[in-house]
Amino acid sequence: MATTTLPQSETHAHAHGVILSETAAKEVKKIIVDQELDADKVRLRVGVKGGGCSGFSYVLDLTETQKETDEIFEQHGVKIIVDPKSLLYLNGVTVDFRDEIMGRGFVFNNPNATSSCGCGSSFSA
């Protein structure tokens, strides 16, 4: 169970694992504080599950539970965990956070997706 810290200059084309933008990391940290969670124990779980209008849906969850098989990454001070099956679909994905007139939320830029839906929360590979 090794922790991988990617250089901040890492580009999408050469990235391995899950990349968390600085904006997304700030929002995750804000949520941790707002929910009065223990920042030293909480991890951001990023995953996929079957379903959604395109075949797979993205999963984001704050958790203190970590499995031995989880891959661990750290971006901008946030520890990210991904199960091995999800990593097959999420390797190189960038998680960003947008706060715009049309809405606010986490968005995924997934180079592995062959198509995605209009809602941005599901994809096919």
CATH, residue 24: 2.60.300.12
> Which of 46, 65, 57 lies closest to 116 in space, CA to CA?
57
Count of domains forming the chain: 1
State the pLDDT at residue 7.
41
Give pLDDT tens digits along the chain (125 positions).
444 444 443 333 345 789 999 999 999 999 999 999 999 999 999 999 876 566 788 899 999 999 999 999 999 999 999 999 999 889 999 999 999 888 899 999 888 776 655 545 544 55
How far is it, in rounded angstroms, from Cα 84 to Cα 39?
24
Whether residue 123 lies inside any domain: the answer is: no
pLDDT at 123 (0 to 100): 47
Assigned domain for 34 exists: yes
Give the Cα separation of 93 and 35 in Å (integer). Answer: 26
The pTM of the whole model exceeds 0.85: no
